[in-house]
Amino acid sequence: MSKRPFLKLSLLATWVLSATWVQAQTTPIKFQMDWRFEGPAAFFTHPVAAGYFKDAKLDVTVDAGNGSGGAVTRVASGTYDMGFADLAALMEFHANNPDAPNKPVAIMMVYNNTPASVMALKKSGIKVPADLAGKKLGAPVFDAGRRAFPIFQKANGIGTVAWTAMDPPLRETMLVRGDVDAITGFTFTSLLNIEARGVKADDVVVMQYPDFGVKLYGNAIIASPKILKENPEAVKAFLKAFTKGAKDVIANPAKGIESVKARDGIINTELEVRRLKLAIDTVINSPDARKEGFGQVQGPRMSLMASQVSDAFNTKSRVNADAIWNGSFLPSAKELDILPKK
């Protein structure tokens, strides 16, 4: 019998063993986003497309979401290893589920400021927060801005308002039709959606929470205690690769959107580039972010937010700020220095 078949079998066996070894060295991570594949999703889709996670020996799967609350519960359930969620939603989960065995923690701040704002049409006569008293406001019941509105309300001495609930796709439509006087929502989401319904940006009053005394943190990367304990090096590698990708996206938003377009081919590229730029300018490269440093938080501000969320969300127990955050997996300060100076 020829030696050739044995040689082929030997080479095949070597290849299988090599492939198995490489696979064993690659850590799979399931990542749950907070929302659909829109502009800001580029911060997660770009490092995948650019191979940064792969270079870090990570096999990262990024899935679209349907809200921060869902992202938190899916990481808590173990369905996902890591995710992206509004810090207030994470705090609420902790305080309402004190005995939960797998409470996620925030490990990197991405939206240093909450993107929440109140928006109204100028023709309504609403100009400042105090004008909202007695008005009809609309938002989905789980909307971050609606949940945190009592904090905005207290900070600005606003009287009683009435709320109308609706599904997310109807929010801006109901504002434009006049069914509600104002809405809450993420600035980079709702403002562009209002424009898409035929209203010029100059005809919209935008009251961003950070501009009116509300210094809540926004969305953070969260992780399950399980992966933090069992594979801390993979978590550190993830944050390094993410930071490298974030630097690219901030420098060239249009390039970043290419990876989002690859996930959802029907998106309006020009619109999503604008949405991404708006997110960068308002909550990622904000004055507070440049002061505190990308990815990082300030203890006193975190403690204040924990107290405010406890009151506004009427949680079962008080939020423990120390249990929410773990910054020990962050890259070095030099690696986190990615925000352009303004």
Q: What is the pLDDT of residue 25?
A: 82
Residues 27-112+217-336, CATH architecture = 3-Layer(aba) Sandwich (3.40)
Task: Say what the pLDDT of residue 21 is.
Answer: 47
Cβ–Cβ under 8 Å, residues 198 and 134: no
Phi, psi of 159 (to 5 degrees): -70, -170
Query: How many Cβ atoms sit within 10 Å of the Cβ of residue 57?
Result: 14
Radius of gyration of the CA atoms of the chain, in A = 22
Report whether 235 contacts 329 (CB < 8 A).
Answer: yes
Checking DSSP bridges between strand 82-86 and strand 27-32, what pairing results, if any? parallel
Residue 341 confidence (pLDDT): 81
pTM as predicted: 0.90
List per-residue pLDDT tens for the chain, 342 residues long: 455 555 555 655 566 555 554 455 899 999 999 999 999 999 999 999 999 999 999 999 999 999 899 999 999 999 999 999 999 999 999 999 999 999 999 999 999 999 999 999 999 999 999 999 999 999 999 899 999 999 999 999 999 999 999 999 999 999 999 999 999 999 999 999 999 999 999 999 999 999 999 999 999 999 999 999 999 999 999 999 999 999 999 999 999 999 999 999 999 999 999 999 999 999 999 999 999 999 999 999 999 999 999 999 999 999 999 999 999 999 999 999 999 986
CATH number 3.40.190.10 given to 116-212? yes
Predicted confidence at residue 120, as pLDDT, reads: 98
Q: 29-51 burial, b if ≥16 CB within 10 A, otherwise e?
A: bbbbbbbebbbbbbbbbbbbbbe
Residue of 152, 128, 155, 112 whose CA lies nearest to 282: 112
Region(s) of the chain under CATH 3.40.190.10? 27-112+217-336, 116-212
pLDDT of residue 197: 95
Q: Whats the size of the chain, residue-wise?
A: 342
Please report the pLDDT score of residue 242 as a whole number: 98
